[in-house]
Structure 1
Amino acid sequence: MLKTPLMVAIALVIAFAGGLWSALATLDATSGLSAIRIGPWEAFPAAQTVNADPYARAHRARDGKLLYASAEGLSFTARTDAAGAPLDAACTYRLAGMAPPARLWTLFAAPQPDAPSVPAGRPTGLNSRMILKEADGSFAITLSAAARPGNWLALPASGRFTLVFDLFDTPAANSTGISGVPMPELTRLECGDD
């Protein structure tokens, strides 16, 4: 008598838990279908528009982030270097090249929630108006936990991080040919275990 309702209840619990787990696993495995990748850099130009795919909308809802509209700007993130290795604050990196055309750009390293923060007084973010550039507009920035001469962005002492490159008032935000946009190259110079 109780066997049938018990089996139905177990089936419903398994179905509900499995559905919830598969939805969360899918969100962790993908960032959305409209991602644009240029080397290690990834952007979602349609994420804040009505044309956003369901995965991008779910990410936006879960993260609670307010994204830039296409007329305001575009945010690129990098979780790996040019060789595909995950970004590690124990390493030293060089970001060099040209930035896409924009009125202003900013760059900062976002540590993982469990990683230590950057000590006070160190440059945790840079922008296009404060760095040294070559005559052709190219630049080179060193990303390291230890102070470096020239353009330097401080990293936490350890842990993984994501590099965030925000472009403001850029034609690249509403361009259909965004994959041809020049992005600076992110290369690993050395690591603490090298």
Structure 2
Amino acid sequence: MDLKPYANYLRAGSAMIAGLAIGLLATVLSLNAGYGFNSLRAGPWTSWPHIGGADIDPYARAVISRSGEAPLGRDQGLAFIARTDSDGAPLDGACDYRIVDPLPAARYWTMTLASPDGRLVANPTERYGYSSVDILRKEGGAFDIDIAREARPGNWLSPGQAQRFVVMLRLYDTPLDIDSTPDPNSFPKIVKLGCA
């Protein structure tokens, strides 16, 4: 029996299966890589200002559909996420950090701790963040926030038992220009104080 005619079918079937596997792998990688294109970076902070508008790209639309989140509209404000400290090291629940102002101009802001997938970090204090209204300020208006498992005086957030976490900064009614690179010096610094 001559198998040569079947060899072409076998090669074509193998190519289709390989193409399908590569396509699925590329889709999974792109859905886990963030919100697609057009990110806005300032030091450790990253925002995707177009995800709340009509010009959202297909990758960002897929990520939002998958997560079920409702992003801020561009006329409402901007949401920034920091996954690393200001030196570029990933945020680690076993380490202590200090977030030091300044902040870009905004009518109102919030800063919260979340898991890498966006859920609030469970902690014994049930304090998940601060806002421009309830933060304790120093003389002159400056502030800092300590992130540590052990209680600290002043503005303190606990990452609980989380191994990894992110810091989310939302700026409401901000004049920040999304078409130019923002000045990293106008964003809070995330300074690692030490690790357990």
Question: TM-score scaled by structure 1?
Answer: 0.85
Q: 1:13 aligns with which of 13, 17, 36?
A: 17
Output the aligned Cα RMSD. Answer: 2.4
1:33 is paired with a residue whose SS is coil
Cα offsets for 1:48-96 (capped at 9, x unmatched): 2233334333333333321111111110000000010000011110001
Q: Which residue of 2 aligns with 1:127?
A: 131
Task: Point out where structure 1 has 5 or more consecutive residues left out of the alignment.
Answer: none
Q: Would you say 1:176 and 2:179 are equivalent positions? A: yes
Q: State whether residues 92 and 143 of structure 1, in contact with CA within 8 Å, keep that contact through their aligned partners in structure 2.
A: yes
Q: 1:186 aligns with which of 185, 190, 195?
A: 190
Following superposition, the deviation at residue 151 of structure 1 comes to 0.6
Question: TM-score scaled by structure 2?
Answer: 0.85
Q: State whether residues 74 and 170 of structure 1, in contact with CA within 8 Å, keep that contact through their aligned partners in structure 2.
A: yes
Q: State whether residues 116 and 157 of structure 1, in contact with CA within 8 Å, keep that contact through their aligned partners in structure 2.
A: no
The answer to which of 44-53 and 34-43 deviates more is: 44-53
> Which residues of 2 match residues 44-63 of structure 1 at below 5 A?
44-63=48-67
* Separation (CA, whole Å) in 1 of partners of 2:181 and 2:7: 59
Number of residue pairs matched?
190
Identical aligned residues as a percent:
35
Q: Would you say 1:76 and 2:45 are equivalent positions? A: no
1:99 is paired with a residue whose SS is coil
Following superposition, the deviation at residue 104 of structure 1 comes to 1.8
